[in-house]
Amino acid sequence: MKIVHSIEELRLQLANAQCPSFVPTMGNLHAGHLALVRQAKPLGDCMVASIFVNRLQFLPHEDFDSYPRTLQEDCAKLEAEGCDLVFAPRESDLYPQPQTVKVHPDASLGDILEGHFRPGFFTGVSTVVMKLFMSVFAGKAQGAAVFGKKDYQQLMVIRQLVKQFALPIDIHGSEIIRAEDGLALSSRNGYLSETERQQAIELHLALRDLGRQAQASAHALAEHLPALEARALQDLQARGWQPDYLTVRRREDLQIPQAGDALVVLGAARLGKTRLIDNLEI
Ligand code: PAF
């Protein structure tokens, strides 16, 4: 497995690849990331993973500086999974100048839910993913990239980006990997204290309950949903969480659902200082 830092080295290493497969990450890899790598491996002739903590997608008060950086351990895990090439750019490699040209996703998708509570987040994600795609796939007729469904809205934003820019990249979603108690794996779980870790499953349980109630009201969903969502929010608050949203949306575009739509329940909430997200297709 080769480890490269600059876009030039990356392109050199990929010169003979016809159809790379790619998993972008911010490092601090856990079983969820490794599942993405396993899914990506057979999708191309050279499996590339990137490790880059992208400043553009963090708000000023967020955890950019403290985000765990564990490059050596990450590379060992990637090598064990059969990854061929790691792209671990320094900030100056990916952003040699301030990145003033950016990709702004459609507001109807990019400014709701995560985008509402983390303004600019999806612009930061779309911009870095576009740059990573251009670094890995430039000159290739075809490629594949795998993203986790844990970041459900992010996966939708990336699908839209690829479609709108006609990029020859197949985007694959990977199922959420959960701990034994059901907590979705996330690098940010490492911030939880022992007590918080025990309590963290409550977010998933709240989504499951909300999903069940939504299904029970499927005949008049639009009418019942605001009250169901408000109650779910209050219940989680009463347990000491600070929820941003708990909501049932149409899977297709994350808009308010109507009876008969395929649904996804999504939530984001802070437990102490840690902000967790989760979702559930129902
Ligand atoms: O999901 C992530 O880890 C990041 O948002 C991504 C896609 C690597 C872009 O920085």
Same domain, 120 and 211: no
Same domain, 36 and 163: yes
**How far is the C-alpha of 246 from the C-alpha of 235, rounded, in Å?**
11
Domain that residue 258 falls in: 187-281
Same domain, 9 and 46: yes
Is the alpha carbon torsion for 88, 91, 95, 96 positive or negative? negative
Same domain, 40 and 158: yes
Same domain, 44 and 99: yes
Ligand 1: nearest atom to the Cα of 129: 9
**Full pLDDT tens readout for the chain, 282 residues:** 999 999 999 999 999 999 999 999 999 999 999 999 999 999 999 999 999 999 999 999 999 999 999 999 999 999 999 999 999 999 999 999 999 999 999 999 999 999 999 999 999 999 999 999 999 999 999 999 999 999 999 999 999 999 999 999 999 999 999 999 999 999 999 999 999 999 999 999 999 999 999 999 988 898 999 999 999 999 999 999 999 999 999 999 999 998 889 999 999 999 999 999 999 999
Same domain, 21 and 126: yes
How many domains are there within the chain?
A: 2
Looking up residue 258, the CATH number of its domain turns out to be 3.30.1300.10
Supply the residue whose CA is at minimum distance from atom 9 of ligand 1: 125
Same domain, 98 and 154: yes
Domain for residue 180, yes or no? no
pLDDT of 76 reads 98
Give the domain-ending residue among 150, 174, 198.
Answer: 174
Give the domain-ending residue among 115, 142, 174.
Answer: 174
pTM of the full structure: 0.97
Domain for residue 37, yes or no? yes
Same domain, 168 and 208: no
Domain for residue 61, yes or no? yes
pLDDT of 168 reads 98
pLDDT of 219 reads 86
Cα(180) to centroid(ligand 1), Å: 24
Ligand 1: nearest atom to the Cα of 53: 10
**How far is the C-alpha of 129 from the C-alpha of 143, rounded, in Å?**
14
Closest by CA position to 279, among listed 179, 180, 162, 148: 148
pLDDT of 122 reads 98
Identify the bridge partners of residue 276 per DSSP, sorted by sequence position: 269
Same domain, 90 and 6: yes
Supply the residue whose CA is at minimum distance from atom 3 of ligand 1: 25
Choice from 64, 94, 128 to test ligand 1 binding pocket (greatest atom count within 8 A of CB): 128
Q: Does the annotation mark 30 as catalytic?
A: no
Give the domain-ending residue among 116, 151, 174.
Answer: 174
pLDDT of 259 reads 85
Ligand 1: nearest atom to the Cα of 125: 9
Domain for residue 181, yes or no? no
pLDDT of 151 reads 98
Domain for residue 51, yes or no? yes
Could you write out the three-class secondary structure of the chain? CEEECCHHHHHHHCCCCCCEEEEEECCCCCHHHHHHHHHHHHHCCEEEEEECCCHHHCCCCCCCCCCCCCHHHHHHHHHHCCCCEEECCCHHHHCCCCCCCCCCCCHHHHCCCHHHHCCCHHHHHHHHHHHHHHHHHCCCCCEEEEEEHHHHHHHHHHHHHHHHCCCCEEEEEECCCECCCCCECCHHHHHCCHHHHHHCHHHHHHHHHHHHHHHHCHHHHHHHHHHHHHHHHHHHHHCCCEEEEEEEEECCCCCCCCCCCCEEEEEEEEECCEEEEEEEEC
Cα(236) to centroid(ligand 1), Å: 27
Cα(24) to centroid(ligand 1), Å: 6
Same domain, 151 and 202: no
Same domain, 170 and 209: no
Domain for residue 182, yes or no? no
Domain for residue 179, yes or no? no
Same domain, 233 and 153: no
Supply the residue whose CA is at minimum distance from atom 2 of ligand 1: 25
Supply the residue whose CA is at minimum distance from atom 6 of ligand 1: 25
**How far is the C-alpha of 201 from the C-alpha of 161, rounded, in Å?**
32
Looking up residue 47, the CATH number of its domain turns out to be 3.40.50.620
